[in-house]
Amino acid sequence: MKSLVAMLVVFIGCCSNVFFLELLIKEDSGSGNLITFAQFVVIAVEGFITTMRFGTKKTEVPFTEYLKMVLMFFIVSVTNNYALSFNIALPLHMIFRAGSLLANMILGILILKKRYTTMKYLSVIMISIGISICTIASAKELNHSESENQISSVGDFVWWIVGILLLTFALFMSARMGIMQEVMYSKFGKHPREALFFTHALPLPGFLLLFGDISKHIQIANMSAPLDSTVISVIPFLNTLPRIWIYLLGNVFTQSICINAVFVLTTECSSLAVTLVVTLRKFVSLLFSIWYFQNPFTALHWFGTILVFGGTLVFSDIPNLMRQKSKVN
């Protein structure tokens, strides 16, 4: 029963998080650093209270090990959200992040000297082709679209390319961080709650470097209009709050729910179930973004998306795991 509740909360929390993120980007496309900062503060405070017990709990992993990860995690998080400022539509953003297996495999071969089965190589080829197709389709669509992400000049197209390069950089940096975590866990055991706290708390001073940008978007948030009268009539006190702050509150709250639900899921379910739920959740978020926000999505986008998510499932070897599980039962 607990695992079913966790699955349900993963879908509700994580999909709601993407919903609030898109609302924020629609209002202020350059608010990525503000969003990242708010998420880090909330998760760090929560971790300090619940995981570290106000600093009284002894760490399971040496503090110096976390320091190695912090800079990398900070750069990945800021880069991912900052890329949205460069004409990157959220569906393309989600597809890119779903292609993390590609970067993981490449770095696993280069750094850890790993070798994979033919099916895993095939899956990564599928993911690579899928991401390439979606990127090319987005470039074509943005030239003709009337959406907020429209490319109207050569200069804008160059900035869109910068956004793609930022996403690619973040993808490989995230994979490198994953390998670092893998090595760390093999030495000291798995302590995900503790790692979650330190990777969000230690980078907070780094946001001083982004103070100018964050303060600028705080001013934009303060000047944003309140929610429309339909919502205000249901919850009257909201008429005094700028809508960006309401969206940001919803984003950081659902981010916390999403992360905690995934953590519970990993402790209650098999890796097969976790892989299925997380992959399906990403796909549902993508579909919702396309439908609700009317984001451009062509036949090429669909083809590329199927390759990306299909490749993810093939990489996870889910059919084989299901067969083995049925034999055991």
- Map tokens 């990157």 to a residue: 88
Q: According to the model, what pLDDT value does residue 252 have?
A: 93
Q: According to the model, what pLDDT value does residue 132 have?
A: 77
CA nearest neighbour of 173 among 261, 254, 77, 263: 77
User: Cβ distance 104 to 178 under 8 Å?
Assistant: yes
Exposed / middle / buried, residue 315 (Cβ in 10 Å: 0-12, 13-18, 19+): buried
Which residues, 6+ apart, have CB-to-CB distance to 213 below 8 Å? 30, 33, 34
Q: According to the model, what pLDDT value does residue 199 have?
A: 84
Separation of alpha carbons 122 and 118, rounded Å? 6
- Map tokens 């607990």 to a residue: 2
Measured in degrees and rounded to the nearest 5, phi and psi for residue 183 equal -65, -40
Separation of alpha carbons 186 and 79, rounded Å? 28
CA distances 290 to 99, 225, 308, 310, Å, are 19, 25, 17, 19
Separation of alpha carbons 171 and 99, rounded Å? 8
CA pseudo-torsion sign 252, 255, 260, 263: negative
User: Cβ distance 54 to 246 under 8 Å?
Assistant: no
Separation of alpha carbons 189 and 305, rounded Å? 35
Q: According to the model, what pLDDT value does residue 327 have?
A: 61
**What is the chain's pLDDT, residue by residue, as a tens digit (329 residues)?**
667 788 888 888 888 998 898 889 888 888 888 998 999 999 999 999 988 889 888 888 888 888 878 888 888 888 887 887 787 777 777 777 767 767 777 888 888 788 878 887 888 788 778 877 877 776 666 555 544 444 456 677 788 888 889 988 988 888 888 788 778 878 888 787 888 888 889 889 988 988 999 999 999 999 988 876 555 555 666 667 888 999 999 999 998 888 888 877 766 765 556 666 777 787 778 778 778 777 777 788 788 888 887 887 777 666 665 666 566 55
Helix (H) or strand (E) holding 317: none
Q: If DSSP states are collapsed to H, E and C, what string results for 144-195?
A: HCCCCCCCCCHHHHHHHHHHHHHHHHHHHHHHHHHHHHHHHHHHHCCCHHHH
User: Cβ distance 224 to 34 under 8 Å?
Assistant: no
